[in-house]
Structure formats: C-alpha cells, structure tokens
C-alpha cells in the first residue's frame, strides 16, 4: 500500500492511498475515531482489481496534519467531510461509492447533505444515525482520555476492541498515532447528533452492516432501522460474529457483502 499526502490548504496535509484502475468507479473507505487509512488495507487489496480504491486518514489521524491550537470547530464532522471533499477535488474524482466505519459513517452522512450527487452509494458499519449521550457519559469519556492519554487509550482499545489478537495489535498501532486533541474534541462533537432527517430526505442506495457483537451501537439502531427500512434502496446485512471493526475481524465476509451490494448497484445502473 503506497501512502501519499495532499496539501489542501496552508496548514492542511491529508494522507491518502489511491490504487486500482482509474477507468473504474471509485470506492472510498473512511475510518472511525482514532483509526486511520490502515484499517482498510485488506479491502484495498481486494477491491483494487475492479475499482479505483481510495483510503484516507482524517486530519489529526495517521500521518495527516493536525490543526495547531485547535478548537471544537476544527474537529466537527462537517470539517472532516470538507477535507474529504477537498481531497476528491484535488484528485479529480467527482463520484464515489462511500464506505464508513463508526465516525466515518457520519462523514458519509455529512457528504450526503453537502453534495448528494457525490455519492453513488453509502455503506456504514459500527454507525448509528442518531446519538444523544448523557452529560455523565460524555464527561466520563473525557476524564478517561485525559487520564490515560492516546497511548493509554491505544492500550485499552488493544485489549478490548476484538477477540482477535492480530486485530487488537493493529488497532493499538493506529490509536497510538492519533492526536490527543482530535480524540478529545471529536468526542465532544459526536456525543449528540441526529442524521435521521438526512436519511429521510435522500434516496441513494444505502447499506447498513450490523455486527452482532457491536453491542453499544446496536442498542441505538432500532429507531434508525425503522426509518431506513422504508427506503427504496436500503439493505440491512447481519454479521453475527463481528463487532465494531467488522472489516478487520471478518475481512472475507465483509468483502463479499460489500461486493454483492456494489454489484447490485452496477446492475441497477445498467438497467
């Protein structure tokens, strides 16, 4: 996997990896909080035969730049979506199949709001479209982060995020690279949000992959699925033996699910 950097502003450098055939549709993968583009290495290898595949590290993550003396406004989901949009413009890409994990799924919702024509389809996993965390939950997370720091959080994620030791080790390495400011300010920004109206107003093909072991997210999904279930091009796919990082834990199953979904979109477009 060859990683590059794009200079998108005076102080903004975004790490990305682009591979596959330029003549094919573009498949964009966006990671969640604390992770980076390495999360989707196996997906890039698999899909690059038939798609142009783009991976990105959001600002403050991986080897992307982080704002100096940042405020919460620097780390809103909208700001991260703008970085994705700017990278696509920089690369001359005007349409993508979007795949987002956790916070990456929220970036997809933001892009849908900003420019629906940019997305051919939207796939999320480990993501809920609505979340209203209590003040106690928010401050508990912030206190834990301030006590442990990024390396401590990396150790905790490495111990608890998956039963697969190799997955835990990879997650630990990624979380060790994230900016502390990014973790803290993004947590503040995504503690309370609602994209239900976005789902209702847009009709692009959507797929939600639900990991059976992703307990905390699954508790929040019922009202979301009630709305999404009425959409004409929506699919819910269960991965019973996967958790929050389904693409890393069960890559073969994840790849086949995504492949089938994308194939359906190609057939629909052809007809």
How many whole angstroms separate alpha carbon 47 and alpha carbon 50?
6
Element (H, E) at 112: helix 103-114
Surface-to-core class of residue 133, CB atoms within 10 Å of its CB (0-12 exposed, 13-18 middle, 19+ buried): middle
Residue 208: what pLDDT? 97
pLDDT band at residue 166 under the 50/70/90 scheme: confident
pLDDT of 167 > 80? The answer is: yes
Residue 168: what pLDDT? 85
Length of the chain: 271
Residue 224 corresponds to which tokens in the numbers above? 């979301």
Residue 153: what pLDDT? 74
pLDDT of 210 > 70? The answer is: yes
* Of 32-41, 168-177, 208-217, 246-255, the least confident: 168-177
Average pLDDT over residues 72-88: 96
pLDDT of 221 > 90? The answer is: yes
pLDDT of 222 > 70? The answer is: yes
Average pLDDT over residues 235-264: 96
* Contact of 59 with 12, CB cutoff 8 Å: yes
Residue 155: what pLDDT? 66
Surface-to-core class of residue 171, CB atoms within 10 Å of its CB (0-12 exposed, 13-18 middle, 19+ buried): buried
Residue 159: what pLDDT? 61
pLDDT of 271 > 60? The answer is: no
Top pLDDT among 34 and 10 is at 34
* Mean of per-residue pLDDT scores for the chain: 91
Q: Is residue 149 left, alpha or beta, with left meaning phi > 0 and alpha meaning psi from -120 to 50?
A: left
Q: Is the dihedral of CA 259, 260, 265, 266 positive or negative?
A: positive
pLDDT of 172 > 80? The answer is: yes
How many whole angstroms separate alpha carbon 130 and alpha carbon 139?
19
Average pLDDT over residues 188-204: 92
Q: Is the dihedral of CA 193, 257, 215, 140 positive or negative?
A: negative
Q: Which of 105, 109, 151 is nearest to 127 (CA)?
A: 105
Q: Tokens 């349409």 belong to which residue?
A: 95
- What is the end-to-end Cα distance of the chain in Å, rounded? 35
Q: Which of 250, 265, 261 is nearest to 208 (CA)?
A: 261
Please give the model's pTM, rounded to 2 decimal places: 0.94
* Contact of 29 with 38, CB cutoff 8 Å: no
Residue 154: what pLDDT? 64
Residue 124: what pLDDT? 97
Counting residues of the chain whose pLDDT is more than 70, the rounded percentage is 96
How many C-beta atoms lie closer than 10 Å to residue 113's C-beta?
Answer: 15
pLDDT of 165 > 90? The answer is: no
């Amino acid at each position: 996997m060859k990683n590059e950097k794009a200079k998108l502003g005076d102080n903004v450098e975004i790490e990305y990896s682009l591979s596959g055939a330029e003549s094919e549709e573009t498949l964009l993968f966006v990671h969640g909080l604390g992770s980076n583009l390495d999360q989707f290495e196996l997906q890039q290898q698999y899909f690059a035969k038939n798609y142009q595949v783009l991976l990105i590290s959001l600002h403050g993550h991986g080897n992307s730049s982080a704002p100096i003396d940042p405020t919460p406004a620097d780390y809103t989901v909208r700001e991260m979506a703008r970085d994705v949009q700017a990278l696509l413009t920089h690369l001359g890409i005007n349409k993508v199949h979007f795949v987002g994990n956790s916070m990456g799924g929220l970036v997809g919702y933001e892009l849908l709001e900003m420019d629906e024509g940019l997305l051919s389809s939207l796939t999320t996993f480990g993501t809920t479209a609505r979340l209203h965390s209590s003040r106690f939950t928010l401050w508990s997370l912030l206190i834990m982060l301030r006590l442990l720091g990024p390396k401590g959080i990396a150790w905790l994620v490495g111990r608890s995020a998956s039963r697969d030791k190799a997955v835990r080790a990879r997650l630990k390495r990624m979380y060790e690279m994230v900016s502390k400011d990014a973790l803290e300010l993004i947590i503040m920004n995504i503690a309370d949000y609602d994209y239900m109206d976005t789902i209702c107003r847009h009709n692009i093909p959507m797929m939600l992959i639900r990991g059976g072991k992703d307990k905390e997210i699954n508790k929040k999904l019922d009202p979301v699925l009630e709305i999404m279930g009425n959409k004409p091009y929506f699919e819910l796919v269960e991965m019973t033996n996967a958790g929050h990082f389904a693409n890393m834990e069960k890559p073969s199953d994840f790849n086949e699910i995504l492949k089938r979904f994308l194939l359906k979109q190609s057939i629909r477009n052809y007809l």
